[in-house]
Structure 1
Amino acid sequence: MLMDAAQLYRMLVFANVVEQGSLTAAADELGISRSMVSQHLKKLELRCATQLIHRTTRKMALTEDGQSFYHYCAELLQLAKQAENSTKPQDKELQGSIKISAPVCLGEQNLIQHIGEFNKRYPKIRITLLLEDRRLNLLENNIDIAIQTEQATELTSIKLGQFDEYLIASPEYVEQHGSPLHPDMLAKHQWIMQSSNYLPKSCLLQNSFGDKFKIKINPFISCNSNHGIVKLAKQGLGIAILPSYLVQPQIDSGKFVHILPDYHLREGVIYATHPFDDVTPPRVRAFLNFIEKRLLPDNQM
């Protein structure tokens, strides 16, 4: 009897059905429809000229021939899994280098703290970190992963998390100047803005009722670094707009006051972007899987 690829696949389907305990579970495991699993079993039984499984609406049981046949099919399934795993290096065997870019604050505040744990899992992977607020061209700079707040349409992007922009000030500033109770009162306050100039900036605030307020801000102090703005705000020099992942821990500890917490500014998204299409190098995929649930904890979003 000539053994073809279709027959081998049906034997693997049969072994999966037995191991999963139902056609539906096997279909989910194999990524095919339940009706397709049923068709494969019918064709297998026709080819073997015997019934392999007793099937009713409530349960499924192997026939005597099915039990004998499953013994060999289970070995075939195990060999197939071993063959596939032989091409996938184990965590500690992954090696090579990864170049990762990220904005300065996000890198220093959230990314760097996880590199040690990643190294313990993958000790042979070398890492280069580029902390830059300007957006870098991945191909020109040989970057494997860019963590950024913009989704690159021409490259593959994975969503890592969301963040809000908060209005914050130090307790000392609030004590001296008061805390605005409505967006209309914001224009009277001193502002620390992320900018390289003193040009006015427009912001849109929206409350939970959907009411929108557009305000025009004249910077009192301008700074091109979020970390610099944090230090300036701590000195009580004004109100600042900063991402939640950077200031939420300091709001929780009382070092900053969240101004107008019922009003929302821009909601941002953090993406991991890479230049690989269909085949992502295992070392890069390992880092993407590792950082996906760690970069922005829920309490910092």
Structure 2
Amino acid sequence: MDPSQLYRMLVFASVVEKGSLTAAGEALNISRSMVSQHLKRLEAHCQLKLLYRTTRKLSLTQEGKQFYYYCAELLKLAKQAEASIIPSDDQLHGTIKISAPVAIGELALVPLFREFTKHYPHIHLCLLFEDRKLDLLEHNIDIAIQVGQADNEQLVAVELAEYDEYLVAGPEYLATHGSPSHPDSLPHHQWIMHSTHQLPRNCQFENSEGDKFNLQLTPFINCNTLVGTLTLAKEGLGIAMLPEHLVKQPIQEGLLRRIMPDYHLGKGGIFALHDFEDVIPARVHAMLTFLQRRLYQ
């Protein structure tokens, strides 16, 4: 039998099952006109009219009813075959190894994983929270979460969220040193930098009117983790540049204050990197979909 004929039989069964050409097309991910063409070719091949079609409804001819019985069995078998290799959520199993920066992992990912494990109770999670970037192959990592820009062209990057960087400081620091209102005064303040060195950082600030200011800022304290940088800022030791999702709650609680909200450092992204090209394992695909839906929604 011509394989295309088998597909047309599945299209016919889907039309009857869904009740319309449009609904069948959506289920099969093809256009309504394509569904109609398949039906016409099927009827021409069978030399029978299988469906009465009006603008309001579909109905089977007598020959169509008999033919549908067998096509419906074919569709049922196709669904069973697919289910046998694509398990349902509660049947997915295996391990997902995820690496992430400490702050993202502890403050953003961990609160979400309870919901994930409810949906996928047989998936084991292996979590590596480190601010240094780990080699995926060397550490057998399935998904690496990266903040800023996806900078590895050899890996597939899935954007999970966008964020702004905020300038923040503790109330105690601002009470002592004053709150800057213009970029020109920023070099005179104490800076807490998320970095592994004490070298100056070149920064560009832009306000809502499009005015740009390029500054070179030298750290008073540098720290290699975002969590540490956040804590130092809350302790009143200086001004820090931190992603909005890390500082929103401390700002609401009065532990930090946002400085110069009209001046922006530019947007960054949170990405999930993986090394699967053509076929992503079902368990990994489930995690990627979950993170895209739930991270900073």
1:91 matched residue in structure 2: 89
1:19 matched residue in structure 2: 17
Q: How does 1:260-279 map to 2 (within 5 A)?
A: 260-279=260-279
Could you say what secondary structure the match of 1:140 adopts?
A: coil
1:163 matched residue in structure 2: 163
1:174 matched residue in structure 2: 174
Counterpart selection for 2:42 from 44, 53, 57: 44
Amino acid across the alignment from 2:207: N
Pairing 1:222–2:222 present:
yes
1:148 matched residue in structure 2: 146
Could you say what secondary structure the match of 1:292 adopts?
A: helix
Q: Percent identity?
A: 57
Against the structure 1 CA distance between its residues 208 and 60, is the aligned structure 2 distance closer, same or farther, given a 3 Å change threshold? farther
Pairing 1:242–2:272 present:
no
Could you say what secondary structure the match of 2:294 adopts?
A: coil
2:282 matched residue in structure 1: 282
Could you say what secondary structure the match of 1:15 adopts?
A: helix
1:81 matched residue in structure 2: 79
Counterpart selection for 1:117 from 100, 115, 121: 115
1:183 matched residue in structure 2: 183
Deviation at 1:167, TM superposition (A): 0.2
Q: How does 1:36-75 map to 2 (within 5 A)?
A: 36-57=34-55, 59-75=57-73
**Hey, what's the Cα distance between the residues in 2 that align with 1:58 and 1:127?**
51
Q: How many aligned residue pairs are there?
A: 295
Deviation at 1:59, TM superposition (A): 4.7
Pairing 1:9–2:17 present:
no
**Hey, what's the Cα distance between the residues in 2 that align with 1:214 and 1:21?**
63
Deviation at 1:143, TM superposition (A): 0.9
Q: TM-score, normalised by structure 1?
A: 0.90
**Hey, what's the Cα distance between the residues in 2 that align with 1:195 and 1:90?**
44
Indicate the larger mover: 146-155 or 164-173: 146-155
Deviation at 1:241, TM superposition (A): 0.5
Deviation at 1:174, TM superposition (A): 2.0
Q: Is the contact between residue 191 and residue 221 of structure 2 (CA under 8 Å) also seen in structure 1? A: yes
**Hey, what's the Cα distance between the residues in 2 that align with 1:95 and 1:24?**
35
Could you say what secondary structure the match of 1:27 adopts?
A: helix
Amino acid across the alignment from 1:246: L
Indicate the larger mover: 18-27 or 123-132: 18-27
Q: How does 1:124-143 map to 2 (within 5 A)?
A: 124-143=122-141
Deviation at 1:56, TM superposition (A): 4.1
**Hey, what's the Cα distance between the residues in 1 that align with 2:32 and 2:117?**
42
Indicate the larger mover: 58-67 or 187-196: 58-67
Unpaired runs of 5+ residues, structure 2, are none
Q: Is the contact between residue 131 and residue 224 of structure 2 (CA under 8 Å) also seen in structure 1? A: no
Amino acid across the alignment from 2:99: S
Deviation at 1:118, TM superposition (A): 2.5
Q: TM-score, normalised by structure 2?
A: 0.91
Amino acid across the alignment from 1:136: L
Against the structure 1 CA distance between its residues 197 and 39, is the aligned structure 2 distance closer, same or farther, given a 3 Å change threshold? closer
1:200 matched residue in structure 2: 200
Q: What is the RMSD of the two structures over their aligned residues, measured on CA atoms?
A: 2.0
Amino acid across the alignment from 1:179: S
Deviation at 1:242, TM superposition (A): 0.7
